Amino acid sequence: MRSAPSYDNADLRRLDVAHHLPPQQDWALQESSGGSRIIVRGEGSTIWDAEGNEILDAMAGLWCTQIGYGRRELADIAHEQMVQLPFYNSFFRTAAPPTIALAARIADLLGGSLSHVFFNNSGSEAVDTLVRTARYYWQAKGEPQRSVIIGRKNGYHGSTIGGVSMGGMVSMHNQGGPWVPDHEHVMQPYSFEEQREDEDEDAFSARAAQAIENKLIEVGPERVAMIFGEPVQGAGGVIIPPRGYWKRVEEIARKYGVLLGCDEVICGYGRIGEWFGFQHFDIQPDLVSMAKGLSSGYLPISATAMADHVVETIRAAHAPFVHGYTYSGHPTAAAVALANIDIIEREGLVMRTKSDTGPYLAQALQTLSDHPLVGEVRSIGLLGAIEITSEKGTSQRFGAKPGLAGALIRDACIERGLMLRAVKDTLVMSPPLIITHEEIDRIMLIARDALDACEPALREAGVV
Ligand code: PMP
């Protein structure tokens, strides 16, 4: 019955090197390491590789499998929808029932005036749609000079040309530019690295928000279309903004009459204890991008939500918005996303993250804070980070350039059956929302063991 040939592990690793180019990776390392680890199965919060190793997936795939692996219900829904109508487009004034039902469901979760949803396939595309919408909105309003978008350094908004331009990742900007003009980036609210000794949390928060206002004034407020950011920066290293930051940023957006956009690709769908990150920070964006947890990664789908006033302005232009993807609102992906949201709701995973597993993770992380390599632990909901430092009480790192300790400890975790990610020297985690206390305890035990095991080599490498 299987259409894929049944290769063994060695075949797959060989073919991986020969033919498959993995995303966001060093292809030379892929080759020298003999190919990718082959992941063959998942159940709950656990994955298995082709060698039979069991790995606790504290990254939820890639910040996305909120409901965990192995949910037959989603496979059954996909099967039913594929038999009924696998695909039809939404270009020809046509749409399939799951697509419309999903749009209505998302609008309901978002609340407020965010009642319209445009579908895409990936987070990057959701961001591209959001940028095009913001700029087109201002054109439709008769202010076409408003093209500047202000984001943050080290923000991540995807890998398309639009996503890279909008994001603030220097490593990405250094490859393959030039980028889309009129994207500005200001300091990130990353207290571990950027808070000054003479600043308390409030002063740091005010300075980080002020950087946005300063940039707005520098560019000229009449040229600014939008302020945009992740409520909590994920790929940048789980950077949790200081208290008051987002409220202040929202005030700045309102003061100058510019749009406010939130990239909820990671924070959305319960990750930080509310359906969306902006709800946690009690702000009201005009545009919202989302992906990942929307379908728990079971099928690719993303969405861009828009406030009523944005849609009304675009409707008033009485012209087609010449933007969209073949698979915008893909019926099968939409049906699966609906079933995923059903499960998140039925199992109370958002509330559980807020009042049970989130606080439990925070406490569990604290148990690592006495470790000599740990400079800081932090978390919000089920997003957590461990900062590795060579000298406690500072943000000093090991090695000649950042990343040595992070990669070493991450690999030691994986060897011990725990999947974590390293963002330079910050270990980050984002477990499925179904994670149990026992599994959270296991994350900490393995992490501590990996820290202990790596410490001698790191002390030897020292600070260069
Ligand atoms: N925005 C944010 C905040 C993300 O975290 C990501 C992916 N990690 C993206 C956009 C891009 O999503 P995708 O990889 O699905 O294109």
For residue 59, the one-letter residue type is: M
Which ligand 1 atom is at minimum distance from the Cα of 266?
5
Which ligand 1 atom is at minimum distance from the Cα of 291?
15
Which ligand 1 atom is at minimum distance from the Cα of 233?
3
pLDDT score of 3: 61
275 Cα to the center of ligand 1, angstroms: 17
pLDDT score of 4: 65
CB burial class (10 A; 0-12, 13-18, 19+) of residue 241? Answer: buried
| Smallest CA separation from ligand 1 atom 8, residue | 235
Phi, psi of 354, rounded to the nearest 5 degrees: -70, -45
pLDDT score of 240: 98
Question: Is residue 188 lining ligand 1, measured as CB closer than 6 Å?
Answer: no
Under a CB-based contact definition with an 8 Å cutoff, are residues 421 and 59 in contact?
Answer: yes
Report the alpha-carbon distance of residue 85 to residue 79 in Å, rounded.
10
Which ligand 1 atom is at minimum distance from the Cα of 125?
16
Under a CB-based contact definition with an 8 Å cutoff, are residues 35 and 13 in contact?
Answer: yes
- Treating both helix axes as pointing N-terminal to C-terminal, what angle do 201-219 and 245-256 enclose, rounded to 10 degrees? 20
Residue 453 tokens, joined: 């095991």
Domain ranges of the chain: 37-67+348-461, 73-346
Report the alpha-carbon distance of residue 225 to residue 247 in Å, rounded.
19
The residue to mutate among 157, 161, 278, 296, having the most atoms of ligand 1 within 8 angstroms of its beta carbon, is 157
Question: Is residue 266 lining ligand 1, measured as CB closer than 6 Å?
Answer: yes
ipTM for this prediction: 0.99
Report the alpha-carbon distance of residue 164 to residue 180 in Å, rounded.
9
Each of the 464 residues of the chain gets a pLDDT tens digit; together they read: 556 678 999 999 999 999 999 999 999 999 999 999 999 999 999 999 999 999 999 999 999 999 999 999 999 999 999 999 999 999 999 999 999 999 999 999 999 999 999 999 999 999 999 999 999 999 999 999 999 999 999 999 999 999 999 999 999 999 999 999 999 999 999 999 999 999 999 999 999 999 999 999 999 999 999 999 999 999 999 999 999 999 999 999 999 999 999 999 999 999 999 999 999 999 999 999 999 999 999 999 999 999 999 999 999 999 999 999 999 999 999 999 999 999 999 999 999 999 999 999 999 999 999 999 999 999 999 999 999 999 999 999 999 889 999 999 999 999 999 999 999 999 999 999 999 999 999 999 999 999 999 999 999 998 87
| Smallest CA separation from ligand 1 atom 3, residue | 265
Under a CB-based contact definition with an 8 Å cutoff, are residues 451 and 413 in contact?
Answer: no
Question: Is residue 127 lining ligand 1, measured as CB closer than 6 Å?
Answer: yes
273 Cα to the center of ligand 1, angstroms: 19
Q: Could you tell me which residues are beta bridge partners of residue 311? A: none
Q: How do 46-49 and 39-43 pair as beta strands?
A: antiparallel
What's the order of all strands across the beta sheet hosting 116-120?
116-120, 302-306, 287-290, 259-263, 224-229, 148-152, 183-186
For residue 52, the one-letter residue type is: G
Question: Is residue 264 lining ligand 1, measured as CB closer than 6 Å?
Answer: no
Q: For the domain made up of 73-346, give the CATH fold.
A: Aspartate Aminotransferase; domain 2 (3.40.640)
Q: For the domain made up of 37-67+348-461, give the CATH fold.
A: Aspartate Aminotransferase, domain 1 (3.90.1150)
